Chain A
Amino acid sequence: MREARVVGALGRRALSVQFRRAQLLMPTFVLPLVLLAVIASGTSAGQGLRGFPDVESYLTFVLAGTIVQGTILAGLTAGIAMASDIEFGFFDRLLAAPVRRTSLVLGRLAGTLSLSLLQTSFFLVVASLFGARFPGSVTGVLGAIALAAITAVAMGAVSAAIAIRTGSLSLLQSLFPFMFVMLFTAPAFFPQDLLVPVLRDVSAFNPLTYVVEGVRGLLAGDDAVGAPWAGFVSAVGLALAGIAIATAALGQRLRRL
């Protein structure tokens, strides 16, 4: 129970600080929506391509990619915040406290989970105001929010591991384009069958492919659009692996002290 309180306190801190700096809000809440607006409007003619699936709403189709983009950004923000704590000494304060070392990682990820819940909900509300439809109804929407949150924890764990390993804020900040490689090698904004051949082949090995399609399937209420179970398996697997890596990185760092 005590450690749960510790994780809660650290998670609350992680979340509240996020909302106190415009630099952190813009990339996680505004940028993905701006990109969604541009892509949804700019590439909607693509529905006329042979092989494009019959979708009720192109906006909803593209929204799945935006939601996954949001998880990547929320995750990266966790790593940046952790690197900032390490670089500016606040992490020492946490290390000198009588808390389990894993709680330092889990606390940060608790904040990322909460952030993702808010972020995905925000995206869904804004998209619905602009005409997105969710045939999957409440169950599908809640399922998509949950899937996104687990994915965000996975992304957060990976970037936290990099932060703990390197302690470098500038390195974390420069990871932004590299994280987007994960997004672009998945059918984030276009169907998998209509990606250029190289990318189509690579996307089969990208766990985010199954997350994106899982989100699509949940919002559409149709497993044929995307299998939610595959998405959850990928997300949970990524999250567990990410947490293991982050915890191992922290253990290594402490042994190097």
Chain B
Amino acid sequence: MSVAVTLWRRSLNEVLRVRGALLPATVAPVVFMLGITGQFGRLTGLEGFPTDSYLSWIVPLSCLQGAGFAGAATGSNLARDIEQGWFDRLLVAPVPRPLLVVGPILGAVTRSLVPATVVLLVGFALGAELTGGVAGLLALYFACAAFCATAALWGIFMAVTFRTQQAGPLMQQGVFLAVFLSTAYTPAVLLRGWLAEAAELNPITHVLEMARQATVTGIEPSLAHTYPGILALLGLAAVLGALAMAGLSRMGR
């Protein structure tokens, strides 16, 4: 585990030793949150919208978006390390391969807490509602951390498959599609056409519903909006983790 901790610390160097490194990853979700709210805020006037505050509706989406891109960045960083030869140094070390990526994933999860917290603070300052209390916040942070880890596994899978930084956009697009092909802008009852079907099939829709317990629905005593999200994350992590590990085991052979 000391290997994982060492690599976790190294992945934090990327943001602690590079001035302003966290800024774009933090500013982007805030800009999108405010911009999307400004554009579509009046949608809450439609019948069936579960809240009067579009900001409250969008805050969890922005938190997940920031967490997802932080996870995808793990893949970009790994692709860079592979291209520049640094990862070879790790591959020749007597360390089980899965441990080589545990550290960077932990680093991504740690980093993802920053944009999520900033989005929440800005959102609450501008009037978003904390309907789910502390439990709701915990659900939101758990959703962000777990989604970040899942996105990191996706990024790692892409990195070990393509072994080039040029796969970076693929990693980001994957996260983007996962987040936005869901009940991102409007609830399911107001979706039309192909997006309604896509959102129904997309496991991230359940993760978003779990996160929205913080600012929209509140926590259900039956946890009916919590379990599906957890199961979705576990399922995605299992599949993407298996793909990432398979790719990792093929490296250097």
Contact = CB atoms under 8 A, between A and B. Distances in A.
Contacts of B192: 41, 44-45
B23 A174 contact: yes
In terms of DSSP, what is the predominant structure of the interface of chain A? Answer: helix
Given A49-B45, A196-B41, A184 B35 contact: yes
B40 A43 contact: yes
A189 interface: yes
Given A34-B177, A45-B190, A46-B46, A21 B166 contact: yes
B163 to A, nearest CB: 14
Nearest to B191: A42
B43 A46 contact: yes
B27 A178 contact: yes
Nearest to B28: A177
Interface stretch (B130-138, B139-147, B168-176, B210-218): B168-176
Contacts of A21: 166
Contact of A31 (B30, B35, B173, B190): B173
B39 A49 contact: no
Nearest to B49: A45
B166 A199 contact: no
Interface string A184-200: 11011110001110110
Interface stretch (A22-30, A140-148, A239-247): A22-30
Nearest to A200: B38
B215 to A, nearest CB: 17
Contact of B38 (A26, A39, A185): A185
Nearest to A37: B195
Contact of A184 (B20, B28, B31, B193): B31
A208 to B, nearest CB: 13
B183 to A, nearest CB: 8
Interface residues of A, number: 41
Nearest to A193: B42
A220 B53 CA distance: 33
B39 A190 contact: yes
Interface residues of B, number: 42
Given A43-B186, A45-B190, A49-B45, A174 B20 contact: yes
A196 B43 contact: no
Nearest to B169: A26
Contacts of A174: 20, 23-24
A181 interface: yes
Given A184-B35, A196-B37, A42 B24 contact: no
Contacts of A25: 169
Contact of A42 (B31, B35, B184): B184
A9 interface: no
B246 to A, nearest CB: 23
A45 B39 contact: no
Interface string B27-67: 11011101111111111011000000000000000000000
A39 B193 CA distance: 12
A176 B29 CA distance: 11
A38 B180 contact: yes
Contact of A195 (B28, B39, B166, B180): B39
Contact of A41 (B20, B32, B172, B191): B191
A64 interface: no
Interface in A133-179: 173-174, 176-178
Q: Top 6 closest A-B pairs, CB basis?
A: A184-B35, A41-B195, A26-B169, A199-B38, A177-B28, A174-B24
Interface of B: 20, 23-24, 27-28, 30-32, 34-43, 45-46, 165-170, 172-173, 176-177, 180-181, 184-186, 190-196
Given A30-B169, A31-B176, A41-B195, 7 more contacts: A22-B167, A37-B195, A41-B194, A44-B193, A184-B34, A187-B39, A190-B40
Interface of A: 21-23, 25-27, 30-31, 34-35, 37-39, 41-46, 48-50, 173-174, 176-178, 180-181, 183-185, 187-190, 194-196, 198-199
